[in-house]
Structure 1
Amino acid sequence: MQKLPKSQRKEEPEMSDRFMTMLALESPNFAEGREVIAALKSFAPNVPAEALGLQETETGSPTHLVKIGQTVLAIMYVDQPLPADAIDRPLAYNQTWPGAKAEMQKHSAHVIAAVFKSDESFGGQRQSAVDLTLLTAALIKSHPVLSVIWTAGNTISAPSVVFEALKQISEQSFPLDLWLQVYPYRPPSIPETEKVIGFVTEGLLPFVGREIQFEPAPMPPQDVASRVLNIALYLLSHGPVLKDGETLGMSEEEKIHIRHMPEGAQPGVPILQLMLGRLDRERGESSANDHRSTSFGKRGRA
């Protein structure tokens, strides 16, 4: 273990804003890159991984580079707590971990892990997210980690969630709870007295170039959220395949219209705008361009 000098956040080297995790540490005991790779091998012995050494920055704070598969990742240690602006939003979104705020109050240092170099294709970006998840788990194994923030989705998770996430990853299943945030959305034009709600994702943008914005629909909120999560999982499995003007079929009685919009509830963020409509039973079969035959199933902990 090594101790590094304290550094200010504004002096930290610029790293990828695509996929990055921030790990809150109970104490500032920092592992070398080779120690982190040894930790990775303890639970994933067949994953090709190596330490590439240190990269010095202008501030003099060393950044450890490691390689997992074809992805190069950076590890940077900071001997001070995370700034409030890195914590506030994930805590505000958090609905699944009651102890998150209390754990964050205990931390005294943090680790930043980020994708440094990867394949820019959809498959490459998805693989880099998997590799970052592996690295994050290795950092948890080798450090006194209290919590993990996945910055693309502004999620905050207990360390155990990262290991559960690794068990979920396959060609058709990805750890939505770690990678993705889904929160309620109601445009100003709809009064709060109306019992309709929509949902917006945060975290899909680096994968498919857009977030999902499901417009308020007259159905139970949990049903709307379930549709959003199933569509997100479909996109993570197949890539950015949903085209402007197409429709999705969730059942024999409804369809979801798709529009590509330059931004939505989040300024400057492109979206897949989804709007619920009902099928006309007398209309008969849909056109060949519809995706109504696609079934997204019900979401467990995908």
Structure 2
Amino acid sequence: MNQNQYESALNEMTSWLAHPQELGKEPAKIELAKEFDYEELHYYIFKYKKTLRGKWLLGVCGGYEEDSLENCGHTFSEMEEYRERTAEEDAVKLIEYVKSYWKEQAEQEEEKRQSPGTFVGFVLLEESTFDKEAFLCTLKDEWQVEDDYADKEEEEEEEGGDMAVISYGGGFVAVSLMQGAIPEEEIVYHAKSNFRWPEAAEVSKRHKAHLLVSVFGKTMSVKEAGELSVKVTAACCKQKGVLGVYANGTVYEPEFYLNFADMIKDDLFPLFNLVWFGLYHGKNGICGYTNGLRSLGYDEIEVIDSKQPASEVGDFLTDVANYVVDQDVVLQDGETIGFTNEQKLPITKSRGAAVEGDSLKIGF
């Protein structure tokens, strides 16, 4: 056994399980079950317990190339029971799931990089209903947004009552009623990241349908397209039975989303609707991240293992993101940033810890 590699895998598996969106704490007990090779990479199978009297559960960490201490990101657990007889087979299924997930995420992130100004969100509904006429009235009366083309009778007949499509100010908007719920595993995972709304996961489970909100800024600026997406989503939030807004890797409480959307009415940019500022406890301190800056054309930002209080980490990330978006600043790997003459915080670019793709890490 490569002892250093094993210890690295153990630490990573433990940290992964301790994340707020997983166990939320380190497992009561964790042991190495076995090692194996899969597709020329080395993996470690761990069995762990949530509580000392609980069942052994299965986790996998890898894959490692030869003596490397860095793996390719296949650390995962479905928190299902560990079965010694089928442990390797079960671990391979987890690996394939993670590979498929990361491939899908990579494709989505690449699409975002190539087309900033494209915004997609989901409004969770308690029942499968969409009052299209009420939505269009809210959009017009509250946000002064209506279709640039007056004669829409023929097009509206083709759209039907479950879809609203409009062109506005050089942007394209589509709102579609999607029958059925988003997979519970996905929605609960992301809802747990909303530390501001403890009930997010339980409330999200109740949704039976959702509105798919898509905004494409064809000729408008990225910020204008972002504002338009917030206006459209806010109008959707006035529908009956809205449970939450799934966007930027979290689930927003409708009231929270609407309150910050109102910033637009004061000629302020709705940063909190377009960028989620996440916080969690890392192994050696407070960690924070942004999710949404990439859609605005910038790199996501992270703070890892800060010794500062969580509130200060959150405020710092907000200040940096606001500075980047407001001043259209592109932060670079190797630079420093500070808000006083004395403050010079290093910036490094590397694989994201809590976000997909690469992110900028600021030493705070």
The verdict on a shared fold, with TM-score over 0.5 as the criterion, is: yes
Equivalent residue, structure 2, for 1:37 = 136
Determine the C-alpha separation between the residues in 2 that align with 1:99 and 1:266.
21
Determine the C-alpha separation between the residues in 2 that align with 1:131 and 1:226.
26
**Correspondence 1:161 to 2:256:** yes
The 3 A distance-change label for structure 1 pair 182 and 56 is farther
The 3 A distance-change label for structure 1 pair 104 and 249 is closer
Shift of 1:50: 5.1
The 3 A distance-change label for structure 1 pair 267 and 93 is closer
Post-superposition, which runs of at least 4 consecutive aligned residues in structure 1 deviate over 6 A? Answer: none
Equivalent residue, structure 2, for 1:126 = 223
CA contact (8 A) 2:337 2:346 kept: yes
Give 1:196-275 correspondences, 5 Å limit: 196-259=285-348, 261-266=349-354, 269-275=357-363
CA contact (8 A) 1:27 1:108 kept: yes
Shift of 1:172: 5.6
**Correspondence 1:140 to 2:237:** yes
Deviations, residues 128-180 of structure 1 (Å, cap 9, x unaligned)? 12111111122222443121111xx2121222223212222366643326631
2:236 aligns to what SS in structure 1? helix
The 3 A distance-change label for structure 1 pair 221 and 107 is closer
CA contact (8 A) 2:334 2:346 kept: yes
| Structure having the higher Rg | 2
CA contact (8 A) 2:119 2:216 kept: no
1:180 to 276, 284, 291: 276
Shift of 1:255: 1.6
The 3 A distance-change label for structure 1 pair 245 and 89 is same
Greater shift, 18-27 or 168-177, is seen at: 168-177
Identity %, equivalent residues? 23
The 3 A distance-change label for structure 1 pair 141 and 68 is farther
Determine the C-alpha separation between the residues in 2 that align with 1:49 and 1:218.
50
Match for 2:279: what amino acid? Y
Shift of 1:87: 0.7
Deviations, residues 274-295 of structure 1 (Å, cap 9, x unaligned)? 124xxxxxxxxxxxxxxxxxxx
Query: TM-score normalised to the size of structure 1?
Result: 0.69
Deviations, residues 42-62 of structure 1 (Å, cap 9, x unaligned)? 2123x45458646979xx997
Provide structure 1 residue ranges, at least 5 long, that are not aligned to the other structure: 1-14, 187-191, 277-302
Determine the C-alpha separation between the residues in 2 that align with 1:86 and 1:49.
34
- Equivalent pairs, count: 245
Determine the C-alpha separation between the residues in 1 that align with 2:188 and 2:268.
32
Equivalent residue, structure 2, for 1:286 = none
- Taking only aligned residues, the RMSD between alpha carbons, in angstroms, comes to 3.2
Equivalent residue, structure 1, for 2:17 = none
**Correspondence 1:101 to 2:201:** yes
CA contact (8 A) 1:39 1:142 kept: no
Determine the C-alpha separation between the residues in 1 that align with 2:268 and 2:234.
21
Determine the C-alpha separation between the residues in 2 that align with 1:273 and 1:116.
29
The 3 A distance-change label for structure 1 pair 242 and 146 is same
Determine the C-alpha separation between the residues in 2 that align with 1:274 and 1:55.
52
Provide structure 2 residue ranges, at least 5 long, that are not aligned to the other structure: 1-107, 113-117
